[in-house]
Amino acid sequence: MNIQYLKGADIDKVKWNSCVHYANNGNIFGYMWYLDFVAKDWDALVEGDYESVFPLVWKEGLFGRKELYQPNLMREMGIYSIHLLSPARIRAFLDAIPPEFKRINIAVNEQNTPPAGSPFEVVEKTNHQLYLGPSYEEMFDGFSGEMASSLQRAEDQGLILTSSLKPETVAEFYRRHTPAYPGLESDYHALHRIMYNVLHRGWGFASGAMDREQNLYAANFFIYSHGKVLSLAPAQSPAGAELGALPYLFNALIRSHAGRPLILDFNVRGGYELARQFGAQPNAFYQLKKDKRILGLI
């Protein structure tokens, strides 16, 4: 198996995106343009003539040492391949990570199950997804009682749904109503670029819930990719939480897409009560950690 390490500037953009597009486990996070928006620096491992690719997103740590990390707006990455992701192929890629990356803390998708004996500390993480193939009535029967009550409350308040929000509005709403975390300001700017790129390609849309005075209570941006519709930036104001605005927004998407062979990807990294109340099912992905620094420093 021929796996080579390439610097970001040496990656063939067309071949890379083609691999991600046709990969058995492709997703929006793997495209080169998405990686460029969420990561300042990234290199890659490439098998053969781009039959399999593995982005290596890095930053400088203490004393200028490079370390691999997971960007905030990218739930998972890992190996994308047109081949079967066998334990042998996964192990070969993990073994090919250059030793200069002494500290590693990344997340890989569900088809990148770490093989037995892996040198990494493996933490299983949970995302939630809902298959939209059944009728809306069938899916509604799977909603929790609390969700049904929340949707009724939003209906009674006369909330209005809109798909005409500008990316600037969604990004600003996300920044204002998402609990502060390191990198939020950078993510705010990355969201602009991601949303405009997706709109240019015709791959997604913004969605919001407001009242008749156009006060916005919840907003999100949805992206279509690889048989899924992904929730990118869900947020609601404190008043919106009282009204059930964000569940109302998700419910509108579920209703409008019911009966289609799509999966609603809630795009979460752990427990997410809202997704469970919609009857979404958990699916695993994996956090890989390794630290070969002396005393955790060098």
Q: How confident is the model at residue 296, as a pLDDT?
A: 54
Four-CA torsion 154, 157, 163, 167, nearest 10 degrees: -90
Spatial CA neighbour of 144 closest among 6, 274, 289: 274
3-125+284-296 and 133-261, same CATH topology = yes
Whole-number Å distance between alpha carbons of 177 and 274:
17
Q: How confident is the model at residue 264, as a pLDDT?
A: 98
How many Cα atoms are found within 13 Å in the side-chain-facing hemisphere of 298? Answer: 1
Spatial CA neighbour of 59 closest among 180, 175, 183: 183
Whole-number Å distance between alpha carbons of 45 and 117:
21
Whole-number Å distance between alpha carbons of 74 and 93:
20
- Reading the block at residue 203, the tokens are 């791959």
Q: How confident is the model at residue 272, as a pLDDT?
A: 87
CA distances from 117 to 19, 87, 124 (A): 28, 11, 16
- Reading the block at residue 23, the tokens are 């990969």
Residues lower than pLDDT 70 in the chain:
63, 293-298
CATH number of 133-261: 3.40.630.30
Integer Rg of the chain from CA = 20
Q: What's the sign of the alpha-carbon dihedral 168, 170, 176, 181? A: negative
| CATH architecture under which domain 3-125+284-296 falls | 3-Layer(aba) Sandwich (3.40)
Neighbours of 163 (CB within 10 A): 11
Q: How confident is the model at residue 269, as a pLDDT?
A: 81
What angle separates helix 167-177 from helix 184-201, to the nearest 10 degrees? Answer: 150
Q: How confident is the model at residue 270, as a pLDDT?
A: 72
Q: Return the domain boundaries, the chain.
A: 3-125+284-296, 133-261
